[in-house]
Amino acid sequence: MTEPVYTLYDVRDYPIVRFVGEATEGYATRWCAEMDRLLADGGRFVLIYPPRRQEEAHADRVARGQWLKHNKTALAERCLAVIAIEPDAARRAEMEAMYPNLVKAFGTPQAVRATAAEAERLARHLLAGGGLSDGV
Protein backbone atom coordinates (compact mmCIF):
# COMPACT_ATOMS: atom_id res chain seq x y z
CA MET A 1 0.00 0.00 0.00
CA THR A 2 1.35 3.43 -0.85
CA GLU A 3 1.51 6.28 1.63
CA PRO A 4 -0.90 9.19 0.99
CA VAL A 5 0.71 12.12 -0.79
CA TYR A 6 -0.69 14.65 1.68
CA THR A 7 -1.43 14.04 5.33
CA LEU A 8 -0.53 17.44 6.79
CA TYR A 9 -2.17 19.54 4.11
CA ASP A 10 -5.69 19.61 2.74
CA VAL A 11 -5.34 20.21 -1.01
CA ARG A 12 -8.97 19.58 -1.99
CA ASP A 13 -9.45 23.31 -2.63
CA TYR A 14 -6.11 23.74 -4.44
CA PRO A 15 -4.63 26.31 -5.05
CA ILE A 16 -5.78 27.13 -1.53
CA VAL A 17 -3.84 24.72 0.67
CA ARG A 18 -4.75 24.35 4.34
CA PHE A 19 -2.52 22.92 7.04
CA VAL A 20 -4.64 20.34 8.85
CA GLY A 21 -1.91 18.31 10.51
CA GLU A 22 -0.44 18.51 13.97
CA ALA A 23 3.02 19.83 14.71
CA THR A 24 3.86 16.78 16.78
CA GLU A 25 7.49 15.97 17.42
CA GLY A 26 9.08 14.53 14.31
CA TYR A 27 6.55 15.90 11.82
CA ALA A 28 9.10 18.02 9.94
CA THR A 29 10.21 15.14 7.71
CA ARG A 30 6.66 14.73 6.44
CA TRP A 31 6.21 18.52 6.22
CA CYS A 32 9.30 18.81 4.00
CA ALA A 33 8.14 15.96 1.76
CA GLU A 34 4.70 17.50 1.33
CA MET A 35 6.18 20.92 0.60
CA ASP A 36 8.47 19.31 -2.00
CA ARG A 37 5.37 17.83 -3.61
CA LEU A 38 3.55 21.19 -3.61
CA LEU A 39 6.52 22.78 -5.36
CA ALA A 40 6.84 19.89 -7.83
CA ASP A 41 3.20 20.27 -8.85
CA GLY A 42 4.25 23.55 -10.44
CA GLY A 43 1.22 25.73 -9.79
CA ARG A 44 0.90 28.84 -7.68
CA PHE A 45 -0.82 28.40 -4.34
CA VAL A 46 -1.56 30.00 -0.98
CA LEU A 47 -0.96 28.28 2.36
CA ILE A 48 -3.38 28.81 5.24
CA TYR A 49 -2.40 27.80 8.76
CA PRO A 50 -4.87 27.47 11.66
CA PRO A 51 -4.17 29.01 15.05
CA ARG A 52 -1.16 27.36 16.65
CA ARG A 53 -2.26 24.62 19.02
CA GLN A 54 1.13 23.62 20.36
CA GLU A 55 4.75 24.70 20.30
CA GLU A 56 6.88 23.12 17.64
CA ALA A 57 9.79 20.93 18.76
CA HIS A 58 13.20 22.54 18.30
CA ALA A 59 14.46 19.85 15.90
CA ASP A 60 11.36 20.25 13.73
CA ARG A 61 11.73 24.04 13.66
CA VAL A 62 15.39 23.66 12.61
CA ALA A 63 14.55 21.12 9.89
CA ARG A 64 11.76 23.28 8.48
CA GLY A 65 13.97 26.36 8.62
CA GLN A 66 16.67 24.57 6.64
CA TRP A 67 14.12 23.44 4.07
CA LEU A 68 12.73 26.98 3.79
CA LYS A 69 16.19 28.49 3.27
CA HIS A 70 17.18 25.83 0.74
CA ASN A 71 13.92 26.26 -1.21
CA LYS A 72 13.51 30.03 -0.76
CA THR A 73 13.53 30.91 -4.46
CA ALA A 74 11.26 28.09 -5.61
CA LEU A 75 8.81 28.72 -2.78
CA ALA A 76 8.70 32.46 -3.50
CA GLU A 77 7.90 31.69 -7.15
CA ARG A 78 5.00 29.36 -6.32
CA CYS A 79 3.59 30.36 -2.93
CA LEU A 80 1.78 33.68 -3.12
CA ALA A 81 1.53 33.92 0.67
CA VAL A 82 1.44 32.09 3.95
CA ILE A 83 -1.66 33.20 5.86
CA ALA A 84 -2.00 32.40 9.53
CA ILE A 85 -5.28 32.46 11.40
CA GLU A 86 -5.02 34.02 14.85
CA PRO A 87 -8.17 35.12 16.71
CA ASP A 88 -6.28 37.01 19.43
CA ALA A 89 -5.63 40.64 18.39
CA ALA A 90 -2.52 41.03 20.54
CA ARG A 91 -1.00 37.85 19.14
CA ARG A 92 -1.85 38.99 15.58
CA ALA A 93 0.04 42.24 16.21
CA GLU A 94 3.06 40.29 17.50
CA MET A 95 3.00 38.09 14.42
CA GLU A 96 2.71 41.03 12.04
CA ALA A 97 5.75 42.62 13.70
CA MET A 98 7.78 39.46 12.96
CA TYR A 99 6.76 39.14 9.31
CA PRO A 100 9.28 41.53 7.71
CA ASN A 101 12.15 39.42 9.05
CA LEU A 102 10.45 36.18 8.02
CA VAL A 103 9.85 37.48 4.50
CA LYS A 104 13.49 38.53 4.26
CA ALA A 105 14.68 35.14 5.50
CA PHE A 106 12.32 32.89 3.55
CA GLY A 107 11.09 35.03 0.63
CA THR A 108 7.38 34.30 0.95
CA PRO A 109 4.87 37.00 1.87
CA GLN A 110 3.20 36.45 5.23
CA ALA A 111 -0.15 37.63 6.56
CA VAL A 112 -2.38 36.97 9.55
CA ARG A 113 -6.16 37.16 9.78
CA ALA A 114 -8.57 36.74 12.67
CA THR A 115 -10.80 34.10 11.10
CA ALA A 116 -10.71 31.30 8.55
CA ALA A 117 -13.19 33.22 6.41
CA GLU A 118 -10.92 36.28 6.35
CA ALA A 119 -7.90 34.10 5.51
CA GLU A 120 -9.76 32.43 2.66
CA ARG A 121 -11.00 35.79 1.34
CA LEU A 122 -7.40 37.05 1.26
CA ALA A 123 -6.19 33.84 -0.40
CA ARG A 124 -8.78 34.17 -3.18
CA HIS A 125 -7.89 37.85 -3.58
CA LEU A 126 -4.20 36.98 -4.00
CA LEU A 127 -4.94 34.18 -6.45
CA ALA A 128 -7.01 36.64 -8.50
CA GLY A 129 -3.98 38.92 -8.81
CA GLY A 130 -4.48 41.20 -5.81
CA GLY A 131 -1.86 42.13 -3.27
CA LEU A 132 -1.49 41.88 0.48
CA SER A 133 -1.58 45.63 0.90
CA ASP A 134 -4.56 46.61 -1.23
CA GLY A 135 -7.31 46.59 1.33
CA VAL A 136 -8.41 43.00 1.79
Q: What is the pLDDT of residues 41-73, one digit of tens each?
A: 889 999 999 998 778 999 999 999 999 999 999
| Whole-structure pTM value | 0.92
pLDDT higher than threshold 50 for residue 1? no
114 falls within a domain: yes
Mean pLDDT (the chain, rounded): 92
**What does the pLDDT average to over 114-125?**
97
Query: How many domains are there within the chain?
Result: 1
Higher pLDDT, residue 91 or 105 = 91
Residue 78 resides in a domain: yes
pLDDT on residue 42: 84
Residue 93 lies in a domain: yes
Give a yes or no: residue 36 inside a domain. Answer: yes
Task: Give the residue numbers spanning the domain of 85.
Answer: 9-128
98 part of a folded domain: yes
Rounded to whole angstroms, the Cα distance separating 109 from 107 reads: 7
The answer to whether residue 54 sits within a structural domain is: yes
Q: Within 10 Å of residue 112's Cβ, how many Cβ atoms?
A: 22
> Over pLDDT 90: what percentage of the chain?
79
Q: What is the pLDDT of residue 52?
A: 83
In a domain, 4, yes or no: no
Burial class (CB in 10 A: 0-12, 13-18, 19+), 28: buried
d(CA 13, CA 121): 13
Q: Residue 53: inside a domain, yes or no? A: yes
